[in-house]
């Protein structure tokens, strides 16, 4: 049965949080703060939390720097996954992917549907593997961050989750 096996050791991972917004600051950003607090409460290391504008180059440059950093295991972005002209996070980040984690979007939308109904179709949440780093792109609302972290990402970043989890794959991500 799927779930946390408490008899196993927990392995913390190093996570960077990117908030994509033209209007938020560290003082006014609640979704990034919520995500950062949940990451640390779960026992992981928050490497950095940064806010960049809805600009493809700024988003891509930030994520590119993190996926090149051996001290970052996971990048989670929040914001910029909608349908408006300024929502460019998937366009900025997906070209960096070596592999798309297609199941993430499917499961995120299933979980999101339970919270917001058909409004979930307005999100382009996506995840992938880039240079041996897991990258998750969540919508910018507090609810989406909570659903994405609490019901999907946190379980896959818990080394005790069974039958399998992403942490156990980390040593093998750069195999050839």
> How is the chain split into domains, by residue range?
12-168
Alpha carbon distance 8, 164 (integer Å): 13
Give me the pLDDT at residue 174, please: 94
Tens of pLDDT, residue by residue over 128-144, are: 999 999 999 999 999 99
- Cβ-contact 158, 165 below 8 angstroms: yes
Give me the pLDDT at residue 1, please: 78
Tell me whether residue 16 is exposed, middle or buried, using C-beta atoms within 10 angstroms of its C-beta: 0 to 12, 13 to 18, 19 or more.
buried
Question: If you average pLDDT over every residue of the chain, what do you get?
Answer: 97
Instruction: Spell out the CATH class of 12-168.
Output: alpha beta
Query: Is residue 71 helix, strand or coil?
Result: coil
Instruction: Quickly state the pLDDT bin for 56 (edges 50, 70, 90).
Output: very high
């Amino acid at each position: 049965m799927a779930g946390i096996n408490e008899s196993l050791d927990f392995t913390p991972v190093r996570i960077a949080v990117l908030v994509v917004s033209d209007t938020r600051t560290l003082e006014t950003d609640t979704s990034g703060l919520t995500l950062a607090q949940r990451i640390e409460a779960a026992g992981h290391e928050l490497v950095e939390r940064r806010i960049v504008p809805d600009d493809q180059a700024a988003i891509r440059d930030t994520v590119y720097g993190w996926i090149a950093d051996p001290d970052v295991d996971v990048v989670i972005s929040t914001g910029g996954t909608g349908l408006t002209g300024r929502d460019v996070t998937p366009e900025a980040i997906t070209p960096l992917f070596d592999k798309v984690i297609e199941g993430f979007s499917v499961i995120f939308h299933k979980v999101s549907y339970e919270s917001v109904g058909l409004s979930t179709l307005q999100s382009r949440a996506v995840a992938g593997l880039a240079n041996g780093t897991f990258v998750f792109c969540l919508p910018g609302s507090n609810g989406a961050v909570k659903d994405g972290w609490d019901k999907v990402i946190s379980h896959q970043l818990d080394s005790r989750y069974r039958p399998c989890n992403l942490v156990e794959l980390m040593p093998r991500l750069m195999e050839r």
